[in-house]
Amino acid sequence: MLRISNRTDADGLTVVVLEGRLAGPWVDELRACWRVLVATVDARSVQVLLDEVSFIDPAGKALLWAMHEQGATLAATGCMTRAIVDEIAHPGGERHGGGNVS
């Protein structure tokens, strides 16, 4: 199961909060939500928080990569999710550490 919620902060940044497993049919659900969101806001003004994500399958990772390529910022504090975010943001092994990447 994946919970998807979003809010707009005081700076106008849209924050998408994911909780649960980004796998199976939940990847398609996030993809549909993403399409609706970027039809109304610039993807560069979106931050995706992955702190409460417990598992990401290959399809979920591919979707996060596509969201990042469109301009979304991915953020994670957990060791495993941070490693996935770092791999997406810095393909080829160039890593800079930290919890927020763009």
Q: pLDDT tens digits, residue range 12-71?
A: 899 999 999 999 999 999 999 999 999 999 999 999 999 999 999 999 999 999 999 999
Using alpha carbons, select from 16, 17, 23, 28 the residue that is nearest to residue 1: 23
pTM to 2 decimal places: 0.86
- Radius of gyration from C-alpha coordinates of the chain: 13
Domains and CATH numbers, the chain: 2-101 (3.30.750.24)
For residue 95, is pLDDT > 70? Answer: no
C-alpha triplet 55, 91, 27: angle, nearest 5°? 30
Q: Which two tokens stand for residue 2?
A: 């994946």
